[in-house]
Structure formats: C-alpha cells, structure tokens
Structure 1
Amino acid sequence: MQLRLAIVDDDISIRKMLRRIIEEARLGSVTECSDGIMAEEILRESRPDIALIDLLLPGQDGVELIQRLAAGCPDTSYIMISQVNSEPMITRAYESGIEFFIHKPINVLEVRSVINRVRESRNLRQFISYVRQTASQFDGPSAPAKTAGDSQKKSIIYRIFSDLGIIGEAGINDIYLLIELISAKQQNQGKMSYQLNELYEQLSQKLGQDAKTIEQRIRRTIAKAMQNLANLATEDYYNEVFQDYNSSLFDFKEVRQEINYVNGKSHYRGKINVKKFVEGILFSVENAEA
C-alpha cells in the first residue's frame, strides 16, 4: 500500500525539493504545510503515515508540534529536518518521538534512504504487533499496550544512544528494532533464551535486507559506542557517562582493552557483546519505568 506523507516546512523551496524526491522515487503521496499551527490541524485530520517536519517553524516549533500530535496520531512516524547542529536540541527532538533527523542542506539519497528505513521500521512494528496478538491468543487476555509507556521507553533508549554518541550512526534503528523484538518475545514468553541469529533472520525478512548486513551494522554501531566511552575515560575516568555504561552495556575488561588501544598501549581493540549491550539497555528501561 502506498505511503501517505506530509511535509511541514516554511521554506517553499524545501517543500518542493522534498515533494520532487518523494514523487520521483514513487515513495507515496504528499501533503504540504508551511505553518506549525496549521500543520497540527491538517495532520490530525489527514493522519499521514510519515511526517517530515522542520524543527524551526512559525506558530510552534517542530518538537512542540510532534508532542501535541503524539496522543492523537500515534500511528504517524516523524522525521525532523533542520540546519540545527546543537546536540541538546537534536536529543530533545528524538525524545519528542522522531525516528530520524535529516540535516539541511537536503541530500536526495539521504531522504530516500531515511524514508525507506522508516517504512521498514513501520512494517516491523506491525509484525511485532502481530506476534504479540498471536501469542496473546494462547496466553489469555491481557491489558492493551500503553502508547505512553511505549513512548517513554523509546525516549529512554534514544537518550542512551545520545549519551553514547551514536545518534547519527546507521545501526541505531536496527538496534532499536532488535530491542523491540526481544522485548515483545519476553513479554509474551517470559525471560526465555533466544538466539541472535534467529532474530537477525526475522529482521532480514521484514526489512528485506541481508541478515549479515544487519548484524554488521549493529556490531559497528555498538563498537562505536565502546570507542566513544573509551575516549571519555581517557579524558576523564570519572566521567558520569563512562561510569554509567562501562560495565552495564559492556564487559569492563573489554572496555579497558579499548582504552589501552585508544592510548596506544595495545594493538588490539576491545570486543563487544551484542546480547550484553541490548539486555543492558532493556534493564535500564525497566529500572527507569519501575
């Protein structure tokens, strides 16, 4: 089924460029708006699948717009577009519920790639929802999923990504979807064991990508997180972010090995453990929500 997209930007040239990219790639149909206040009414009525929203808008900014839309349009996926490079503002945007942040000037390949990745993410969420519904038929009636809780969980996860300095890495979407898949299985089947290879294959089927490619993206992103932590420790061993995550998401001896590599004391980097990383994030989410 064709996607329904909305573009909210006060710059008509940006709107025209994005519309042309979307239509030439046959990504879906497009609605446009130039004002944050008007956009709220239009998006509530049209309920697009994906909304591309500028951060700085007349009337109300993009973050405010998304926050006001979240309850009434829970099925819309949000992509933010802006020239802003401030990390706190970008983090605030992710916490409001966006899935990706596209920096201006607009890059055609990036826009196509991001929209396709959001579409893949939406397809996977539908699959996870199907898994939950199917499992609930055997487990008996259960309480409906809480949209607010899901939003809070996503905010916590992306805050961790931001703390680790990997918000801009290609693999964060894959990691988030992997966490969602594990979380869905645990909710319906308890704290069961699982095989990462099986989960990579499930992601592969839903995303239409090679499982090995997905795994490599995830591993590269987690390795980048370890590298960033090691750099923090080199500058300040008692850095709060380093202390929070060095042993909860990684094996500390491997972090120490990475620190030695960064300092030129070793030719070997630290090794990452995907299971420890994603389960550590899930543990952080559970503790924050408790």
Structure 2
Amino acid sequence: MELRLAIVDDDISIRKMLRRIIEDTGLGIVVTECSDGILAEEVLRVSLPDIALIDMLLPGQDGVELITRLSTERLNISYIMISQVNSEPMITRAYESGIEFFIHKPINVLEVRSVINKIKESRKLRQFMSYVHQTTSQFTGQNPSAKVDGENKHKSAIYRTFSDLGIIGEAGVKDIYALIELICANQRQDNESTYQLNELYGQLSQKLNQDAKAIEQRIRRTITKAMQNLVNLGVEDYYNEKFQNYSSSLFDFKEVRQEISFVNGKSNYHGKINVKKFIQGIIFIAGQAG
C-alpha cells in the first residue's frame, strides 16, 4: 500500500520541495499540508497519515509541542522533524517528543529519500511483529507437525542469513538465536511488541546459566563482525546483492557508511551496531520465509 504523508511547515517553498521529492521519487502521496502548529494538530488527527514531516519552528505551537501532544494519542503516525536548528539540547528534546528522524535544512533530496525509506521499512517491521503476535498465539491449537515445519523454516532462514553474513561459526550466533526464541516466546505469552534488551539478557542468563554481560558481549561482537564482513563486500562491489539486501535491513545505513569510511582510511571511527535493529531484521527475514 502506498505511503500517505503530511507536511507541516510555514514556508510554502519547503512544502513544495518536499512534495516534489516525495511524489517524483515514488515515495508515496502527500495527503495534506499545513502551515500552523495549532491547526496541524486537528489536521493530522483527521487525515491520519503514515508519516508526518514537521518543522520545528511553527506559528501557534512549535513542532516539538505538536508531536508531544499527538504522541500521547497513539495515532500510528511516524514523525520526522525538519529544521535549521543545530542545538543538541533542542534536537534531543525533539527525539524525546517522539520523532524517529531529524532532517536538517537546507533540504537534501538523498537524505529525505533515505529517511522516508527507513521509516517505511520500520513500519513494515512493526506490522510484521504484530502479525507474529497474532499468529504465534494460535500455535497451541495447531497440528504439532505443522508447527515444527514452520519453526524449521524460520530457523533455516535465520541460519542462512548468518551464513550470508559470514558469522555462522561465531560464538555469539547461538546466543542471537536464543535471544530471538526468547523474544517470540515472550510475545506469545503477553502479546507485547516492546522489550528491553537488558531484561532479555537477564532472562537468557538464567536460562543458559551464564553471565548476562558475557552473553551481551558475544552478541555484540558477532553483530559487529557481521557488519564488518558486509562492509568488506560493499567496498569491493557496492552493488553486491548481499550488501544491498542486508546493509539497511539489519543495520543503520549511516553507520554502514561510517564503517566504509573507516575501511577506506577516511575516518578513525568504526560504524556502530544497533542490536535491536539487527534482531528485528532477522525476525522479519525469518517471517518472510514462512
């Protein structure tokens, strides 16, 4: 289904530019525009877009206030803030209000496309996780052999991904798989899509009778190795199929670019991994196999 987007900015030239980027590049359709922070509150409630791009400095009420008020209503809108502001405290405040990404002005076409595509991907993941909650709860009444077949397909897909990433022999692979099993088991019990990694590490520690910190370190080392292997593929051939498939679905692509810069000697800093994104990506891949 096509993404529905809204643009809230008091600068008509910015609204026109964003609309053109969105529609000319096939990112979705712009269902509404607004120039006032107070008016936008009702406009977004009525139009219910998938994504709202909101300027930080608006007449009436600023973008942070607007998003803070709407976030309490759980409208299933993903928020992107756009602004010239470079103040770290203000940007932090924006993220605390509920935004998913911050885009700096002047508008960059590639950045807008990248951010909207990332949100599209994350929304698909959330939809899939919701689907997992609904379907896994039905396993109790299923034919046991059908359940086993489904689990085997998912396990094969997960380990095939590990193989593609060159980490099949890493010690942390078993920990990652155990973590995925634990997440799915917890979701079957309470239908809750959110989870804290620290709590899961604690549960794994009890289950495996091993130190939670050691488990976390093995998982992080293995995911870091996966990123490094993937980046090496991308450095040799940017259009490598595995690099294209996994670089944004399992990692934050800006961190992949950072790791590429490190490998090419253009930076002294490695790219950073996001354990939660990696795990969610793996679960999504496994779901597609089912």
TM-score class, shorter-chain normalisation, is: 0.5 to 0.7
| One-letter amino acid matched to 2:245 | D
Shift of 1:110: 0.7
Q: Is the 8 A contact 2:251 2:277 kept in 1?
A: no
Q: Which runs of 5+ in 1 are unaligned?
A: 141-179, 201-207, 225-267, 280-290
Q: Is the 8 A contact 2:255 2:271 kept in 1?
A: no
Shift of 1:272: 8.6
Q: Is the 8 A contact 2:252 2:273 kept in 1?
A: no
1:189-217, Cα deviation, whole Å (9 max, x unpaired)? 6846898989x9xxxxxxx9523665565
Q: Is the 8 A contact 2:247 2:253 kept in 1?
A: no
Q: State the alpha-carbon separation in 1 of the partners of residues 41 and 81 from structure 2.
A: 15
Partner of 1:126: 127
Q: Is the 8 A contact 2:56 2:64 kept in 1?
A: yes
Partner of 1:23: 23
Q: Is the 8 A contact 1:128 1:181 kept in 2?
A: no
Secondary structure of 1:102 counterpart: strand
Q: Is the 8 A contact 2:37 2:66 kept in 1?
A: yes
Partner of 2:95: 94
1:188 aligns with 2:187: yes
Partner of 1:114: 115
1:234-257, Cα deviation, whole Å (9 max, x unpaired)? xxxxxxxxxxxxxxxxxxxxxxxx
Root-mean-square deviation over aligned CA pairs: 4.2
Amino-acid identity (%): 62
Q: Is the 8 A contact 1:8 1:53 kept in 2?
A: yes
Which is greater in Rg? 2
Count of aligned pairs: 189
Partner of 1:7: 7
Partner of 2:40: 39
Q: State the alpha-carbon separation in 2 of the partners of residues 211 and 76 from structure 1.
A: 26
Q: State the alpha-carbon separation in 1 of the partners of residues 23 and 254 from structure 2.
A: 34
Q: Is the 8 A contact 2:9 2:55 kept in 1?
A: yes
1:210 aligns with 2:245: yes
Q: Which moved more, 1:85-94 or 1:64-73?
A: 64-73
| One-letter amino acid matched to 1:5 | L
Q: Is the 8 A contact 2:78 2:119 kept in 1?
A: yes
Partner of 1:136: 137
Secondary structure of 1:98 counterpart: coil
Q: Aligned runs of 1:1-290 on 2, under 5 Å?
A: 1-30=1-30, 31-138=32-139, 184-185=183-184, 187-188=186-187, 191=203, 209-211=244-246, 217=252, 220=255
If the length of structure 1 is used for normalisation, what is the TM-score? 0.54
Partner of 1:258: none
Change (3 A) 1:9 1:183: farther
Shift of 1:219: 11
Shift of 1:35: 0.2
